[in-house]
Chain A
Amino acid sequence: GENVEQHPSTLSVQEGDSAVIKCTYSDSASNYFPWYKQELGKRPQLIIDIRSNVGEKKDQRIAVTLNKTAKHFSLHITETQPEDSAVYFCAAPPDNYGQNFVFGPGTRLSVLP
């Protein structure tokens, strides 16, 4: 089955700095790669996703890059703000269809004011 890993497990940055979280997956058939943000006590929410036909996608301060050959994708957050503090989960489905995502173990991001 799909194995998803994330690094680092915790990350502390100063407000205004950039943060990068890397996700690796094992199943070559995966073609959709979302990132979810979960604030303390709240629901996971999608912040950005990418499909395998593109190498990079950007939405304001957030970007995702994909290296399908190496089977990893990364979340980039620029100009971090305290409200970016949360746990971030990457996910990878084992195939093109279905939502039986395997989530990575999560990265706890703390943005220090």
Chain B
Amino acid sequence: DTEVTQTPKHLVMGMTNKKSLKCEQHMGHRAMYWYKQKAKKPPELMFVYSYEKLSINESVPSRFSPECPNSSLLNLHLHALQPEDSALYLCASSPSDLLNTEAFFGQGTRLTVV
């Protein structure tokens, strides 16, 4: 299995809602990432988990809360989001963060905040 799977594919949520995005990989990768991608822009790194520990937080607002329950799963908990948070949220994984290698991306969750 060489895929990163994200659920849901689409999500519409109100500004007072709490929701979670899920990401799963079974490639034995030990580094997992959340990226945010706005239309016609490049992916922007949000968080990096290495060996299930948060190693990078790119100054992301606390309304985004990542969680790595185990080496195969990565969640992004959302609470009190703003309309400007509407974007494509991409999860990615790589063998480790000890040496630069290819990042495998999931197909993304398209989030709309209303």
Residues of B within 8 A of A103 (CB): 42-44
Number of interface residues of A (CB under 8 A): 22
Pair B102/A49 contact, Cβ less than 8 Å: yes
Pair A96/B56 contact, Cβ less than 8 Å: no
The contact size tier of chain B is: 20 to 34
Residues of A within 8 A of B99 (CB): 96-97
A3 shortest CB reach to chain B, Å? 13
Pair A100/B103 contact, Cβ less than 8 Å: no
Residues of B within 8 A of A89 (CB): 42-43
- Taken together as a complex, chains A and B put the C-alpha atoms of A75 and B71 apart, in Å, by 34
Pair A100/B90 contact, Cβ less than 8 Å: no
Question: B residues within 8 Å of A by Cβ?
Answer: 31, 33, 40-45, 48, 55-56, 58, 90, 92, 94, 97-103, 105-108
Q: Told that A45-B105, A97-B97, A103-B43 touch, could you supply 12 new A-B pairs with CB distance under 8 A? A: A49-B102, A89-B42, A96-B100, A97-B99, A98-B56, A98-B100, A99-B33, A99-B100, A100-B58, A105-B42, A106-B40, A106-B41
